[in-house]
């Protein structure tokens, strides 16, 4: 698990083509040529990073400001975990 | 039958049209994420019913649950059947015999031969093995005996159709 | 003219395709596919007047080749991220290097595996980092593993578990058993970074020499037309008054001047590659190489079985001394 | 090579060559009504040749090849030469075609709008399309294709690709009673998929092979499955279609754009059915229910 104070940044918006299908979002990454299907909260995390690099706690704060989180007490921990998944796909990187 | 099914379709289609962006996150109790687990449950997931709320609801999901799947190349014409079919090694009628390194069936007690696999291999495992990976749960020599057995399959033997269907390169 | 000669002519002089009729095009397309040069051909003749069905086919081939390069470059990027913590310099080789450096020979070129060169004394760390980042052995067979480690110029091939792409990690550019021993350390030392990232490519001379070594001094020349086209493009891109003597000197240092010189003569002959006057001329055996490189019929099938067999035997002899070869073939035969 | 036939099927211009006269003669008979290339270039070359040189004469074994080849494929006996030729042609399209998004699907058209049927082999999609294309249903359907649906990358239109239909096992007898022998290939027994008999599509499918259609319904049929209907979410349809496409990844963003548009624009339904009649009735009912 990456350190919690680690800052994350996402791919620039023009690198990704994002199509909301239903509960899932299809993302085409022009840099990797890969297609990903993302469930909540991954598209929301990518969107939250558009306003600038942030660590997991800051991302959690941005999400909590925009949404009612319905199912988790420890949002930063879950966000960290999701960032790991996005990192493996190359959709976010660590600074 | 048709009438009731059609009614059901209409109802489902309408409900699909109503599905809001805050549709509940797919529930998965398995770390392994498959297209089916990702989307199958989402169909039956109940729609949260708080229309009065202005703020959107976000489900971040439980710890350890994967939330993404990446599309991989699927080259087989019969892509779907590849993932479903199975190849027993050896076929049930030959159980009790051993498999020699060259894939032939030999009597029990033969030196250097291996007992059959306790479970059939899936088309996907065999396809991966054809590309050079090892068959799961086998040693190198055992795996190569099993693969030689599979290569020798002929029409009519169990597993042949499956083997034939994965004969398309990725 | 036969189909493979049509392919050579089309690459050399794109306007030559104006003379092709339907059958000529059918053969050209099949041969270009067989030699994995369809994307290259598509880029090369993009500005020519083409029959509509051919234009549509080649247009799609161009887009697909460009997309394949996106995948190849992404794999290089993923490798860079996996190796970043080591701080080791790794150098891209072959197709991925051409594409990353934006060289003309990359246009439409098919790229298969990711080939990288790393310092031999960092090989274990690189191996561990890749295995830790999702790559897996393609062959677990202990003989193959031992064989690669003792005699080859690369690790046994690795494949990424979820991206299904192979990587070849080289520590030099020819097998350790080969008769010539290029100076891999000098190649690494003279490699240069590409702008915008931690990716390195070989110096122009070393890149050219490696291409010639890959074509002439290693392997049986199967698919060699594509390597020769790479070589032609590299010479056409880098060739100037300062480059030629530097190339010759550097090739001699790597014990690869004969291979480089031969590749230059053949490229000059087939593709009209500009090379210094003093390098031109003709060796009797060059003819055999050309016969091997053009051994295809209008259906894309391999022809000239005896020539091909001769080059297969030659490839084995280049790679290892006879006794060792016999042992190797025996070991492979037993585990067949 | 000594024997050869060429023909156009939709956008694909084939040339097929063989060492043997037999399979080519069968192709020539079955593809007689398809346009010849008449001096045009072939864009796909299929070859069916001897697996080893002596296998031309001794226990003849047919290797499936062409521009794209399967290295590890089992050769077929010469008695299955027509099947080998058809497989070789399919292989060229599956691995070489880049001008459309290819879906392993059958498709039918009515009034300019099309149903795309996707499923594993054995799902009955092929038989269902063949039955509709033969006019056995209520409506006047035209067969677009049995093996591949070709989706336009720019406009999302479906290009017909009316190859021979390969009828399998139980589907054969039913069709033999309905169509003249001239439209049927030889019964090929002992293949990996049982007995196969090829059917030439109805004349309208061939004559109108350049008339494209707009996708209107995505259908995921399961023959012998629990009878009934289940709407399929766009994301599930998307995943299943990428899984049944041989060139989705190779096409990059153009494929992504075409496929996301398809699953967003077109409703998708999974159906289970126990008989051909039930399947066709389900299709007709769904079709009637679609608002144009």
Residue B112's Cβ-count burial label (10 Å; 0-12, 13-18, 19+) is exposed
**pLDDT, tens only, D4-26:** 999 999 999 999 999 999 999 99
CA distances from B127 to B84, B86, B135 (A): 12, 11, 10
Distance of alpha carbon A37 from the chain centroid: 13
Residue B128 has pLDDT above 60, yes or no: yes
CA distance C27 to C225: 16
Q: Which of residues 235-264 of D touch A (CB under 8 A)?
A: 235, 238-239, 242, 248-249, 252-253, 256-257, 260, 263-264
Nearest residue in chain B measured CA to CA from D95: B75
Residue A95's Cβ-count burial label (10 Å; 0-12, 13-18, 19+) is exposed
- Contact in structure between D67 and C30 (CB atoms under 8 Å): yes
Q: Check if A20 contacts B (Cβ < 8 Å).
A: yes
Q: Which of residues 221-240 of D touch A (CB under 8 A)?
A: 233-235, 238-239
pLDDT of residue C199: 93
Contacts of C299 in chain D (CB under 8 A): 1, 17, 45, 47
Residue C56's Cβ-count burial label (10 Å; 0-12, 13-18, 19+) is middle
Residue A55 has pLDDT above 80, yes or no: yes
Q: Check if A84 contacts C (Cβ < 8 Å).
A: no
- Contact in structure between B165 and D68 (CB atoms under 8 Å): no
- Spatial CA neighbour of C101 closest among C175, C183, C189, C206: C206
**Mean pLDDT estimate for chain B:** 63
Q: Which helix (H) or strand (E) holds C140?
A: none
- Which candidate in C51, C164, C299 is best for mutational testing of the D interface (most D CBs within 10 A)? C299
- Contact in structure between B25 and A39 (CB atoms under 8 Å): yes
Q: DSSP letters of D53-108?
A: GGGGTSS-EEEEEESS--TTPPPEEGGGHHHHHHHHHHHHHHHH--SEEEEEEEEE
Helix (H, G, I), strand (E, B) or coil at D127: helix
- Spatial CA neighbour of D106 closest among D165, D191, D156: D165
CA distance A52 to C80: 24
pLDDT of residue B74: 59
Which residue carries 């000098």 as its tokens? C186
Q: Sign of dihedral through CA atoms C108, C112, C117, C118?
A: positive
Query: Are D253 and A30 a contacting pair at CB < 8 A?
Result: yes
pLDDT tens, per residue, chain C with 336 residues: 699 999 999 999 999 999 999 999 999 999 999 999 999 999 999 999 999 999 999 999 999 999 999 999 999 999 999 999 999 999 999 999 999 999 999 999 999 899 999 999 999 999 999 999 989 887 656 677 777 777 788 888 888 877 878 899 999 988 877 778 899 999 999 999 998 777 999 999 999 999 999 998 888 888 899 999 999 999 999 999 999 999 999 999 999 999 999 999 999 999 999 999 999 888 889 999 999 999 999 998 888 888 888 888 888 877 766 666 667 666 665 554
The CA-based diameter of chain D, rounded to the nearest angstrom, is 61
- The alpha-helical segments, DSSP class H, found in B1-158 are 2-18, 35-44, 79-84, 123-130, 140-151
Nearest residue in chain C measured CA to CA from D8: C53
User: What angle is formed at CA B78 by the lines to CA D83 and CA B123, rounded to 5 degrees?
Assistant: 110
CA distance B41 to D263: 18
- ipTM value, please give it: 0.84
CA distance B15 to B45: 12
- Which candidate in A24, A35, A37 is best for mutational testing of the D interface (most D CBs within 10 A)? A35
pLDDT of residue C39: 97
- Residue of A20, A41, A77 with shortest CB distance to B58: A41
- Contact in structure between A69 and B25 (CB atoms under 8 Å): no
Q: Which helix (H) or strand (E) holds A53?
A: none
Query: Are D251 and C22 a contacting pair at CB < 8 A?
Result: no
- Spatial CA neighbour of D210 closest among D264, D150, D290: D150
Helix pair angle (D234-243, B35-44), 10° resolution:
160
Q: What are phi and psi of C90, to 5 degrees?
A: -120, 140
Which of A28-37, A43-52, C216-225, D139-148 comes out lowest in average pLDDT? C216-225
pLDDT of residue A94: 86
CA distance D87 to D132: 24
pLDDT of residue B156: 54
pLDDT of residue C63: 94
- Contact in structure between C28 and C20 (CB atoms under 8 Å): yes
Q: In this predicted model, which residue has the larger pLDDT, C200 or B154?
A: C200
Helix pair angle (C305-319, C322-334), 10° resolution:
110
Q: How far is C51 from chain D (nearest CA, A)?
A: 8
Contacts of C63 in chain A (CB under 8 A): none
Query: Which chains does chain B touch, 3 or more C-beta pairs < 8 A?
Result: A, C, D
Query: Are C74 and A30 a contacting pair at CB < 8 A?
Result: no
CA distances from B109 to B89, B96, B102, B135, C139 (A): 18, 10, 16, 24, 29
CA distance B68 to D99: 29
- The DSSP call for residue B95 is B
Residue B42 has pLDDT above 60, yes or no: no
pLDDT of residue D139: 83
- Contact in structure between C130 and C167 (CB atoms under 8 Å): yes
Query: Are C71 and A30 a contacting pair at CB < 8 A?
Result: no
Cα dihedral value D200, D205, D211, D214, nearest 10: -100
User: What angle is formed at CA B7 by the lines to CA B5 and CA B11, rounded to 5 degrees?
Assistant: 115
Query: Which chains does chain D touch, 3 or more C-beta pairs < 8 A?
Result: A, B, C
Q: Check if B133 contacts C (Cβ < 8 Å).
A: yes
- Quote the percentage of chain A above a pLDDT of 90: 69
| B143 Cβ neighbours under 8 A, 6+ residues apart | B129, B134, B135
Low-confidence spans in chain D with pLDDT less than 70: 70-74, 121-122, 192, 291-292
Query: Are C162 and B144 a contacting pair at CB < 8 A?
Result: no
| D39 Cβ neighbours under 8 A, 6+ residues apart | C21, C22
Under the banding of pLDDT at 50, 70 and 90, the label for residue B29 is very low
pLDDT of residue D168: 86
Residue B12 has pLDDT above 70, yes or no: no
Q: Check if D249 contacts B (Cβ < 8 Å).
A: yes
Query: Which chains does chain A touch, 3 or more C-beta pairs < 8 A?
Result: B, C, D
| D220 Cβ neighbours under 8 A, 6+ residues apart | D117, D118, D119, D123, D232, D237, D240, D268, D269, D270, D271
CA distance A47 to A20: 13
| A57 Cβ neighbours under 8 A, 6+ residues apart | A4, A76
Residue count of chain C, please give it.
Answer: 336
Q: What are phi and psi of A91, to 5 degrees?
A: -85, -20
- The alpha-helical segments, DSSP class H, found in chain D are 21-30, 81-96, 125-133, 170-176, 203-207, 234-243, 248-251, 253-265, 276-289
Q: How far is B169 from chain D (nearest CA, A)?
A: 6
- The alpha-helical segments, DSSP class H, found in C190-285 are 204-216, 224-238, 243-253, 257-271
Residue B39 has pLDDT above 60, yes or no: no
Contacts of D121 in chain B (CB under 8 A): 78, 80-81, 165
Q: Which helix (H) or strand (E) holds C96?
A: helix C94-100
Q: Check if C77 contacts A (Cβ < 8 Å).
A: yes
Query: Are A71 and B59 a contacting pair at CB < 8 A?
Result: yes
- The DSSP call for residue D137 is S
Which residue carries 């339907």 as its tokens? C22
Looking only at the bridges linking them, the beta strands covering B105-106 and B98-99 are antiparallel
Q: How far is A78 from chain C (nearest CA, A)?
A: 22
Distance of alpha carbon B81 from the chain centroid: 9
- Residue of A72, A75, A85 with shortest CB distance to B67: A85
Residue B165's Cβ-count burial label (10 Å; 0-12, 13-18, 19+) is buried
């Amino acid at each position: 698990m990456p350190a919690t104070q680690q800052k994350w940044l996402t791919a620039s918006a023009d690198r990704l083509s994002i199509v909301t299908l239903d509960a899932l979002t299809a993302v085409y990454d022009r840099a990797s040529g890969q297609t990903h299907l993302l469930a909540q909260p991954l598209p929301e995390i990518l969107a939250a990073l558009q306003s600038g690099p942030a660590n997991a706690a800051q991302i959690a704060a941005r999400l909590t400001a925009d949404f009612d989180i319905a199912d988790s007490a420890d949002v930063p921990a879950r966000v960290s975990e999701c960032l790991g998944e996005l990192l493996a796909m190359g959709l976010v990187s660590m600074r | 039958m048709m009438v009731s099914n059609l009614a059901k379709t209409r109802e489902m289609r309408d409900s699909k049209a109503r599905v809001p962006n805050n549709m509940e996150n797919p529930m998965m109790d398995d770390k392994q994420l498959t297209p089916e687990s990702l989307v199958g449950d989402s169909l039956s997931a109940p729609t949260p019913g708080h229309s009065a709320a202005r703020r959107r609801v976000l489900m971040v999901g439980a710890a350890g649950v994967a939330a993404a799947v990446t599309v991989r190349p699927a080259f087989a014409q019969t892509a779907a059947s590849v993932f479903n079919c199975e190849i027993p090694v050896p076929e049930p009628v030959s159980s009790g015999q051993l498999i020699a390194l060259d894939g032939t069936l030999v009597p029990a007690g033969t030196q250097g031969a291996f007992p059959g696999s306790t479970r059939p291999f899936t088309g996907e495992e065999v396809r991966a093995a054809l590309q050079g990976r090892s068959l799961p749960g086998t040693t190198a020599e055992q795996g190569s005996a099993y693969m030689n057995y599979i290569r020798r399959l002929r029409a009519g033997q169990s597993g042949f159709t499956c083997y034939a269907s994965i004969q398309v390169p990725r | 003219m036969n189909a493979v000669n049509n392919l050579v002519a089309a690459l050399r002089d794109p306007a030559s395709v104006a003379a092709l009729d339907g059958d000529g095009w059918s053969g050209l397309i099949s041969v270009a596919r067989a030699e994995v040069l369809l994307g290259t051909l598509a880029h090369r003749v993009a500005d020519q007047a083409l029959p509509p069905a051919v234009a549509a086919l080649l247009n799609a081939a161009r887009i697909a080749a460009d997309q394949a390069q996106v995948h190849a470059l992404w794999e290089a990027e993923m490798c860079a991220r996996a190796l970043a913590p080591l701080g080791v310099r790794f150098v891209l080789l072959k197709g991925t290097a051409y594409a990353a450096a934006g060289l003309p020979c990359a246009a439409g070129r098919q790229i298969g595996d990711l080939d990288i060169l790393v310092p031999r004394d960092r090989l274990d760390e690189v191996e561990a980092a890749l295995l830790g980042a999702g790559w897996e052995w393609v062959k677990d067979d202990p003989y193959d593993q031992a064989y690669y480690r003792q005699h080859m110029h690369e690790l046994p091939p690795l494949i990424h578990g979820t991206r299904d792409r192979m990587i070849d990690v080289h520590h030099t550019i020819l097998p350790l058993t080969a008769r010539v021993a290029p100076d891999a350390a000098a190649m690494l030392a003279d490699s240069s970074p590409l702008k915008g990232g931690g990716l390195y490519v070989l110096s122009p001379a070393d890149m050219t020499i490696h291409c010639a070594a890959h074509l002439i001094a290693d392997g049986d020349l199967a698919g060699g037309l594509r390597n020769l086209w790479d070589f032609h493009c590299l010479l056409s891109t880098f060739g100037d008054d300062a480059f030629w003597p530097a190339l010759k000197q550097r090739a001699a240092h790597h014990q690869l001047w004969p291979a480089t010189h031969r590749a230059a003569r053949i490229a000059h002959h087939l593709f009209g590659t500009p090379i210094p006057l003093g390098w031109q001329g003709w060796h009797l055996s060059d003819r055999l190489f050309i016969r091997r490189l053009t051994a295809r019929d209008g259906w894309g099938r391999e022809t000239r079985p005896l020539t091909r067999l001769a080059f297969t035997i030659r490839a084995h002899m280049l790679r290892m001394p006879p006794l060792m070869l016999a042992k190797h073939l025996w070991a492979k035969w037993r585990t067949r | 090579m000594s024997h050869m036939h060429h023909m156009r099927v939709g956008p694909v211009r084939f040339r097929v060559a063989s060492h043997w006269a037999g399979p080519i003669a069968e192709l020539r008979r079955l593809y007689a009504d398809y346009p010849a290339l008449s001096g045009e270039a072939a864009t796909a070359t299929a070859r069916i040749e001897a697996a080893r040189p002596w296998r031309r004469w001794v226990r003849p074994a047919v290797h499936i090849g062409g521009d794209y080849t399967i290295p590890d494929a089992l050769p077929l006996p010469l008695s299955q030469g027509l099947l080998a030729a058809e497989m070789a042609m399919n292989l060229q399209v599956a691995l070489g075609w880049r001008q459309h998004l290819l879906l392993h699907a059958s498709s039918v058209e009515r009034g300019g709008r099309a149903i795309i049927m996707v499923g594993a082999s054995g799902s009955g999609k092929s038989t269902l399309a063949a039955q509709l294309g033969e006019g056995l249903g209520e409506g006047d359907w035209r067969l677009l294709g049995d093996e591949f649906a070709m989706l336009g990358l720019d406009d999302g239109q479906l290009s017909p690709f009316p190859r021979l239909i390969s009828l399998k096992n139980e589907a054969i007898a039913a069709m033999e009673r309905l169509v003249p022998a001239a439209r049927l290939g030889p019964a090929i027994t002992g293949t990996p998929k049982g007995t196969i008999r090829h059917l030439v599509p109805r004349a309208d499918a061939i004559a109108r092979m350049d008339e494209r259609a707009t996708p209107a319904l995505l259908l995921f049929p399961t023959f012998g499955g629990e009878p009934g209907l289940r709407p399929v979410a766009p994301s599930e349809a998307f995943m299943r279609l990428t899984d049944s496409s041989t060139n989705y990844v190779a096409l990059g963003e153009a494929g992504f754009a075409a496929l996301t548009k398809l699953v967003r624009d077109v409703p998708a339904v999974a159906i289970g059915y126990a008989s051909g009649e039930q399947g066709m009735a389900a299709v007709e009912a769904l079709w009637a229910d679609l608002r144009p």
